[in-house]
Structure 1
Amino acid sequence: MTAVLPAGPRKVLPFLFRRTAPPASLPSRTDHSMRQSLGFYAMVAGLFLAIVDTQLVTSSMKEIQGGLSAGLDEIGWVQSAYLIGEIVMIALAGTLSRAVGTRLLFTLSAIGFAVASLLCGMASSLGEMTAARALQGFLGGAMIPTLFAANILMFPPAKQVRMTVLIGLVATLAPTIGPALGGMVTQALSWRWLFFITVLPGLAVAWAVWLLVDIDKGDKAALRNFDSFGASLLAISLGSLQYVLHEGPRLQWLDDGSIRALLLAAALAGALLVWRCLWQPAAILNLGVFRNRNFTLGCLFNFALGAGLFVGDYLMAQYLGRVRGLNSEQIGYTLLVTGAFEVLGAPVSLWLATRVDPRYVLALGYALFASGLYLATGMTADWDFDELFWSQAVRGFSLMLCFVPVTGLALGTLSAGQVRDASGLFSLTRNLGGAIGLAWVATAFEDRTVLHRSRLAESLDAFDPQVQDRLAGIAAELSDVIRQDPDLAALRVMSDIVNLQAEVMAFNDLLLMLAGIMAVAVLLLPFVRRTAAA
C-alpha cells in the first residue's frame, strides 16, 4: 500500500533547497584574457573609491561642520548617512547582480557614486549633505560585494588567490590612508574637494567596466520577480540597526526615544525578513548559502576580522588624538605603518596560500593579529610612534594572512550560481562586525574610564606626603601664572592627570579584550572543512 505523505521539505523550508543556477551565458573560469583582467583592475579601483570615502572625511569634520553651519552633535550624520546607505546596498547587491548582470550593476553603481559625490561637494546645508551622502553610500555600495563575486566568476582558482590578495590590500589600505589623504586635500584645496576628486575617477571606472567586463547577463525573470517587499524590510532593518549602532553611544542607548523606536523597527523588520527568506522561494536574500559550513564559518571569521580591523584602528587613532594630542593628519601618518606592513605581508600570504592548508594560514593570521593588539596593551601616556611601531607592524602584516584564507574558505567552495548571493552576505558580516565593534568600544571606553578614574581617585590620599608634595610642586609651578589661587589650580591639574591615566588604562583594557576576541576566533578552526591550497 502506498502511503500519502505530507508536503515535502522543499515546500516546508524552501530556502534549504533553493539553488541559483548559473546562467547559460556565464563564461568559463579559464577565460581570463587581458581585456577581462584590465576590466577587473578597473573594478578594484571602484572598490578603493567606495571604501576610502568612508574615512576620507574623518580628518576634516571641523571644516565640513563650519562650511555647513552644522552643530557638533549633528555633523556625525556626514558619516552615518554614508554607512547606512552602504550597508543596505551591500546586502541587496547579490540579488541585483543576478537581475541586471554584474557589468550593468557595477557600471551604474560607479556612475551613481560619481554623481552623488558631485552633489556632496555642492551641498550647502547639512540636510543636503546627509541626503547626498546616503545616496553616495547606497549607490557606491554595490561595488564592494560585486567585486568579490567577479573574482570567483572570472578567474580559475590559481589566479583567484592573487586577485584576492589585491582586493585585500585595497580593502584594508583604503581606510588606513583615508584620513591622511583627506587631511592633505582639505589643507591644499578645501573640504569640498574631498568629494570632487572622486567624480572623474568614478566615471572612468564606469567607462572601463562597461567596455572591458563581460561576465554574465541579467536574468529578466529575476528582475520581474524582484522581492520589493523583502527589499523594503531589509532597508528598514539594516538602516535602523546602523543608525542605532552609530548614534547609540552618543545618545545613551535606550535612554533616548529615537534609539528605542529604531531598535524596535530593526528587530521587527529583521524578524519578518528572516521569516520571508525562509518561506518565500524568490526572497530578496538567499539564506540557502548558509548550508555550506565553510561559508557560515567564514562569515563568523569575517565578522571578527571586521571588528578587529575597524576597532583596532579606532582605538589607536583615539589614543593618539585624546592622549598624545595629535591632529588628524599626524594620526593618519602614524597609522600608515600598518598600511606599509600590509603591503609587505601580501607576497607572504600569496606564497602561503598556494602551498599551505588555508586553515593553518588562517590560524597564523589571527594569532598574529591578536599578538599585535596585545603588544599595545602596555601603553602609557607617553607612547608615540616608536613605542607603537611593532604593534602596528605585526597587526598590519597579519591582515593579509587573515583576509586571503577567510575569503577563499567562505566563497571558494560555493558554486558559480551561489557566489553572487553569498558575496553580499559575506561583505555584510565584515561591515556589521565593524559597526557592532565600534558601538561596543564607544560605550565600553566610557565605562572603563569611569571605573579606573574612581579607583585612582580612591588611591589618592590627601594626607599622603607624596600626594601633598606633588600638589605643592604643581602649585609652585603655577604660582607665576595664576596668582589668585594656585592651590586650587594644582588640584585641577591633578584631576586632569587622573583623567588622562584613566583613559590610558581604558585603552589598554579594550585592546586586551579585542585581542582576546581575535584569539578566541581561532577555536572555530576545527569545524572548518579542509580545502586544498590554491
Structure 2
Amino acid sequence: MSTPKPFREVPHRGLITIAIMLATVMQVLDTTIANVALPSMVGDLGASADTINWVLTSYIVAAAIMTPVTGWLADRFGRKELFLTAVVGFVVFSMLCGVAWSLETMVLFRLMQGVFGAAIVPLSQTFLLDINPKERHGQAMAIWGAGIMVGPIIGPTLGGWLTESFNWRWVFFINLPIGIIAFLGMAAYLPNIARCVRGFDFFGFAMLSLGVGALQLMLDRGGDADWFSSAEIWIELGLAISGFWVFTIHVLSAENPFIDPKIFLDRNFATGLVFIFIIGVILLASLALLPPMLSTIFGYPTITTGVVMAPRGVGTMISMLVVGRIMHRIDARLLVMIGLGLTAQSLYTMSGFSPQMDNWLILTSGVIQGLGLGLVFVPLSTIAFATLDVRFRTDATALFSLVRNIGSSIGISIVSVMLVRNTQINHAELSAHINPFNPNLWAASPPAAVGDPAALSQIEGLVNQQSLMISYINDFKLMMVVTLVAFPLVFLLRKPQKASAAAPAAHID
C-alpha cells in the first residue's frame, strides 16, 4: 500500500473556481438554450421543421461520443492544456454557429461545438476535486452541481429572451465574453497536472463510440421517425446493442482496454453511476415536460414560463450551498435519502396539477423538487469519488457526465412517447362519452347535446385539454415511481470517511 501524498494548497483557488464554473455554465447552457431558437432558425437557414432538429442532434451525438475519451486526452496532452483547448474550440465554433448561413454549415459547426465542449464538464469536476482537500470536496461539488443543474433550468428562458429581444444568433454570441473571461482565468491560475501517457485503445473507443452515438441518435430521432415503426430506429438500436456488447467483451478481455474495468469495482462509483442516471432522467425529463405544459394548457409566454420555473433553480442552489457546508457533519447517505423523499413528494404534488389551478402549486412543487435534487446531487457527486483511486478520476468524471446525459436523453424520450400515446388514448376514452345519450352532456351543454357545431367545438377543446393534462400527470407519476425505486440503492453506498487513503493525490506541479 502506497503512502498518500499530503494535499498541497493551490494558490488562487477562488479565482480558479470562478473561471472553471464560467466555462461549465457556458457549456451546460448550450445544451438547452438553443432549443427555443429553432423556429426562428428555420427561415434564415433554409431548413424545414423536420430538418432543423439536426441542429440539436449533431451537438448531442458529438458530445456523447467525445465525452468518454476525455480521460485519455487529458493524460496524453495534459488536463490544463485540454481544458483550455476545449474552451477555445467551443467558443470559436459558437461564433461560427452564430454566423452560419445554411443548415449544412450550422450542423457542421454544432457538431464541432459538441466535440470541443464534451471535455469541459468532466474536466471541471476533476479540477475542482484536485484543487480542494478532501474535507472540502462537498463544498466544491455543491458549487459544481449548482452550475450543472441550474444551467438547464435557465437555458430556455435565457434563449427565449435573447431570441425575442435581439436575434437567434445571440444565443451563440453570448458565449464569447463568458468564454474569454473563463479562458484568461484558467490560463493564469489553473495548476499544471503531471501527465501520464498511455496507449490508445482505438478498437475499444470505436465500439463505445458506435454504441453511444447510435443510442443518442435513436433517442433524439425516435419521435420524428415514429420510433419502432421506422427501419432507421431499428438499425440504430441494433448498432447501439452491438457496439455496447462488443465493447463490454473487449474491456473484460483486452490487456489495455480503453476504460480500465477496475474502475467499476469501486462500489460507491458503480452505485453513483446508477444514481446519476436516475437524476438525469428526473431532472431533464421534468424540465422537458413543464415548459410545453405551461405554454399549451395555461397559455404562458416564454418569459412567464421562465419566471414560474425560476424557483426550482433557486431551491436547487439553496440546498446545494447548505448541504456543501453540512456534509462533514451529517451522513451523506441520509442526505441522499431526504433528497429522494423531497423529490418524490414534489412529483406526487405535480400529479395533482389541473388546468384550473393557480401558480402557487407550480411554484411550491418546483422549490421542493429543487431542494430534493440538490440534496441528492451534491452528496452523490462526493460519495461516488470518495473511495475511488485518484488515477481513475478523469475517466470516472467523464463516465459520470456521459451516464447523466444518457439518462437525460432516455428520460426525455420515454416521457415524450408516453405523453403522445397517452394523450391519444385519453382523448379516445373521453370522446366516447360525448354523445346525446349522456345526461351529463345535457346538463353541461344542451347545445352540444343537440349537435350545435360551436358548442361541440368548445367541448372538443376541453377534451383535448383534459386529455393532455391527464397524460402529463401520468408522466409525473412515472417519475415519482422511478424516484422511489432508487431508495434501496442508498444502502449500497459507503460513508466517505471510511474511504481508503491508499491512492496518492494528483500531482500538481
TM-score (norm 1): 0.89
Q: Which residue of 2 aligns with 1:118?
A: 95
Q: How does 1:126-137 map to 2 (within 5 A)?
A: 126-137=103-114
The aligned residue for residue 480 of structure 1 is none
What is the letter of the counterpart of residue 50 of structure 1? Answer: Q
What residue identity is the alignment partner of 1:228?
F
Amino acid at match of 1:127: E
Larger mean CA deviation between 326-335 and 234-243 belongs to 326-335
Bigger CA drift: 493-502 or 430-439? 493-502
- Looking at structure 2, the residues matched to 207 and 236 of structure 1 have their Cα atoms a distance apart, in angstroms, of 36
Deviation >6 Å, runs of 4+: none
| 1:286 alignment partner, one of 229, 241, 260 | 260
Q: Which residue of 2 aligns with 1:211?
A: 188
Amino acid at match of 1:29: F
Partner of 2:456, secondary structure, is helix
The answer to whether the 8 Å contact 2:143/2:321 transfers is no
Aligned partner of 1:30: which letter? R
Structure number with larger C-alpha Rg? 1
Residue number in structure 2 paired with 1:532: 497
Q: Secondary structure at the match of 2:437?
A: coil
For 1:276 and 1:81, locate their aligned partners in 2 and report how far apart those are by CA, in whole Å: 28
Q: For 1:128-277, list aligned pairs within 5 A.
A: 128-219=105-196, 221-222=197-198, 225-277=199-251
CA distance in 1, matches of 2:5, 2:108: 39
Residues 1:414 and 2:392 aligned together: no
Aligned to 1:319: 293
AA aligned to 2:414 is W
Counterpart of 1:489? Answer: 454
Letter matched to residue 129 of structure 1: M
The residue aligned with 1:359 is 333
Counterpart for residue 375 of structure 1: 349
CA distance in 1, matches of 2:474, 2:86: 41
Aligned match of 2:417: 443
* Alignment-derived partner of residue 503 in structure 2: none
Distance of 1:228 and 1:115 partners within structure 2: 28
Taking the aligned partners of 2:321 and 2:262, their CA distance within structure 1 comes to 35
How far 1:469 moved relative to its partner?
A: 4.6
Greater alpha carbon shift after TM alignment, 491-500 vs 422-431: 491-500
Deviation at 1:47, TM superposition (A): 0.6
* Whole-angstrom CA distance in 1 between matches of 2:101 and 2:445: 51
C-alpha distance in 2 between matches for 1:385 and 1:59: 22
Match of 1:98 among 49, 53, 75: 75
Other-structure match for 2:313: 339
Identify if the C-alpha distance between structure 1 residues 108 and 420 changes in structure 2 by more than 3 Å, giving closer, same or farther: same
- Does the C-alpha gap of structure 1 residues 327 and 61 become closer, same or farther in structure 2, counting only changes over 3 Å? farther
* TM-score, length of structure 2 as denominator length: 0.93
2:8 is matched with which residue?
Answer: 30
CA pair 523-459 structure 1, distance change in 2 beyond 3 A: farther
Q: Partner of 2:51: helix, strand, or coil?
A: coil
Q: CA RMSD in A?
A: 2.2
Is residue 2:61 matched to residue 1:87? no
Question: Structure 1, residues 287-338: CA drift from partner, whole Å, max 9, x if none?
Answer: 3211001111111111111111001111212211221122333222211110
User: For structure 1, which segment, 374-383 or 446-455, has the greater mean C-alpha deviation from structure 2 after superposition?
Assistant: 446-455
What is the rounded CA distance, in whole Å, between the counterparts of 1:227 and 1:533 in structure 2? 34
Q: Does 2:480 align with 1:515?
A: yes
CA deviations 1:192-217 (Å, max 9, x no partner) are 11111102322332232222112413
CA distance in 1: counterparts of 2:335 and 2:185, whole angstroms = 35
Residue identity in the other structure for 2:187: W
Name which of structure 1's ranges 277-286 and 105-114 shifts more when overlaid on structure 2: 277-286
Partner of 1:453: 427
Tell me by how many angstroms 1:179 deviates: 1.1
Aligned length: 499
Comparing 82-91 with 510-519, which one deviates more in the overlay?
A: 82-91
Deviation at 1:439, TM superposition (A): 0.8
